[in-house]
A and B are shown apart, each in its own frame.
Chain A
Amino acid sequence: MTVIKLNHITKIEGHASLNLSIKNGKVEVCELQAVEGSRYFEGLLKGRRYFEASEISSRICGICSCAHTVTAIQAIENALGVDVSEQTGLLRELVTIGERIRSHATHIYFLALPDYLGYESALSMAEKYKNELSRALKIIKMGNGIVKVVGGRDLHPVSLTVGGFLKVPSEEELKEIRKELELIKEGTILTGKLFGRLEYPEFVNKTEYFSLVKREEYATLNGDMVSGSKRYKQEEYSKYLKEYHEKYSTANFVVKEGRSYMVGALARVNNSYKSLSSDARKILKSFKIEFPNYNPFVNNFAQAVEIVHFVDRALDICDLLKVKEEPVKKVRLREGHGISAVEVPRGTLWHEYKLDSKGRITYANIITPTTQNLRNLQDDIRAYLPSVMKLSKEKMILEIEKLIRSYDPCFSCSTHFLKVNFV
């Protein structure tokens, strides 16, 4: 009987441990435990004003703070019937893109890549892989720069609000962003190639790939939820997504119609690769990696491809925007109920709010991408183990960690929740 406990897995966001026991080649126990302390955000939001939802929920996560900010705001706007201007929509998309770029670049270069090159950290790669590391930092800086200019600060942005923007970037700032995007393009193509060339373990475990989809667009801020040929309306999410709890983890698990599924870059590319920019599609096709793809390790490559795509999309937005001062849309307080799903770095993020007539939050529910992935990740670990069981303990552990890291899990996000009824 082999018992393996990986305590406080490194190179992931947040805190998680893995409990494994293998007897006679059979996986008896496979428990992915979030050990992050519970922060009870949905409870903290109760009683707060509608415009505080974004400030507070932003603190669920640093690296995806724009994600929570934007999704909270959209959900509140849906509850209050607020329509925003086209400029606001484009600026929100731009800030979301900036975050996508910085998050993906941080993950693939700092958290995932060291495993594939045999290093303990990206910093220890600094000598031999100086170019790659500088490139990574430039791409991260680019993403952070966009968030800073559009959102007012690179982490926990300040300028976004219900109804619009408290402050908009200037024409000069956007011109500067556009210039920087042009300069970084080559680096993103090289990134795509680097991650296309990596030797991913051959592991296929087809599941359902769930993401927002919009016709002719690589969906980000809105759309219908799609898995394969099935389409779902966002407003009805409680009908098909169910959260449940396991005693061994502080994070919830989620199933869709009773089954596990995957969200994130791989799911998005699987569903929408035809809507990627032409440069991104070129990278996608340049390697012997078929799409749709059912190898979770390929999520790393999918993230690299998304970086290429989103630099192109950001350039388009910069061209479309003729930014002008605009007042925030007035809000008429009323009782309301709003839901919003947004594609963020690790997958689809859901925010739901109920408001009373005075604009106070009476109910909040947040389902993060990682929470949705945990069940599938756990299933994948179980399925992957047989092919690595015969390796040395050290090598087996590395393979499992690689698998966990390929999901780019954010355990801070997944462990924010409200204690649930358990029947």
Chain B
Amino acid sequence: MGSILARMGLCLGMMRLRMTEDKLKVGFYNITGCAGCLLSVLFNEDDLLHVAKIIDIKAFPFIKEKKNDGELDVVFMEGLVASNDDVKVLKEVRKKTKVLVALGACACTGCIPAFRNFIQKENYERKVFLRKLELRDQKPVPIDKHVKVEYYIPGCPPDKNEILTFIKDIVLGKKPRGYDKPVCFECRLNKNTCFLDKKELCLGPITNGNCNSVCINGGLVCWGCRGATPDANFETMISLLKEKGIKAKDIKDRMKTFVGLKLPKEVIR
């Protein structure tokens, strides 16, 4: 995740898309996922119709017939790669868009389905008989393992406002702002009682915020779905949690749940 800021710098030039009076040609796609991220776009109920006026939604198969969408300026892609079909769709879409945005945790970090990389095959397969089907499976990975990604909107689900702000920014030709403060920053502002003080497994300190600490507000510890802050100190986080009596395996499993593939290898060993 630390590379996001670097990538954003490189992409400054790309955001000069808004030079003409033409609306941005935008696509919303998903590969393997739960559709929650696309729904997060739609569930901006008060703003959806306005958004549909200020951008030209050329492609959105979830709610729209397919047409020859042609070249696109920006594509929001939800989902992780889990099948051959996903790779095909992802590569086709990458070819036809100037900017690709990884929307949500599956696309950004692999999310829960990618946890499969850390468990024994025997856990999820009994007799493998369906050769044809098995060959369709791909190693479950976030999309940037297959194609170049310009922006990331993390979270499971992503924050509806963050999506809206991103769209506003690109329409105005602004460079979308990054965020690198841990969840704890907003959590304290929201006056929550700290879970770490209650000896619970909360990953707030190493997780990138801008989610308004929604989980802690609702009584749940942070599971780290938005990925690590650029300066996350995983070792200290782990020893801090161990000091509170939490087992190393539980800590690592929790850390790997949403973002395992993007954690440093030493951390997850």
Q: Which residues of A are at the interface with B, using a C-beta cutoff of 8 A? A: 8, 10-11, 13-15, 35-40, 42-44, 46-49, 55-56, 59-63, 65, 102, 106, 110-111, 120-124, 126, 133-134, 137-138, 140-141, 144, 151-159, 161, 165-167, 245, 247, 250, 412, 418-422
Which residues in A have their C-beta under 8 angstroms from that of B124?
40, 42-44, 46, 418-419
A106 to B42, CA, bound (A): 9
**Contact B116–A152 (Cβ < 8 Å):** no
Cα distance A418–B173 in the bound complex, in angstroms: 46
Q: Judging by beta carbons under 8 Å apart, are B119 and A167 in contact?
A: no
Choose from A43, A121, A126 the contact partner of B65 (Cβ within 8 Å): A121
Q: Does B169 contact A (CB under 8 A)?
A: no
Residues of chain A with a CB closer than 8 A to B39's CB: 62-63, 106, 155
Tell me whether B264 is interfacial, beta carbon within 8 Å: no
Contact with A along B120-151 (1 / 0, CB 8 A): 00011111111011101110100000000000
Select from chain B the residue with minimum beta-carbon distance to A420. Answer: B126
Docked Cα-Cα span, A161 to B215, in Å, equals 13
For B31, what are the chain A residues with a Cβ–Cβ distance below 8 Å? 15, 37
Q: What separation, in Å, do the CA atoms of A194 and B185 have in the docked complex? A: 48
- A158 adjacent to B127 (CB under 8 Å): no
Docked CA distance A63–B112 (Å): 17
B32 & A152 in contact (Cβ 8 Å cutoff): no
A-B contact count (CB 8 A): 199
Q: Known pairs A37-B31, A44-B124, A62-B39. 8 more at Cβ < 8 A?
A: A11-B62, A37-B80, A40-B124, A55-B223, A121-B65, A124-B64, A140-B42, A412-B35
Question: B-side binding surface: helix, strand, loop or mixed?
Answer: mixed
Q: B111 interface residue, CB < 8 Å from A? A: yes
B129 and A120 contact, CB distance less than 8 A: no
Please indicate the chain B residues that have their CB under 8 angstroms from the CB of A48 in the complex: 253
Q: Interface residues, chain B, CB within 8 Å of chain A? A: 31-40, 42-43, 45-46, 48-49, 52, 57, 60-67, 80-83, 85-86, 89, 111-113, 115-116, 119, 123-130, 132-134, 136-138, 140, 156-157, 214-215, 217-220, 223, 250, 253, 257
| With A106-B42, A110-B42 as contacts: A39 and B113 at CB distance below 8 Å | yes
| Closest Cβ neighbor of A44 among chain B residues | B115
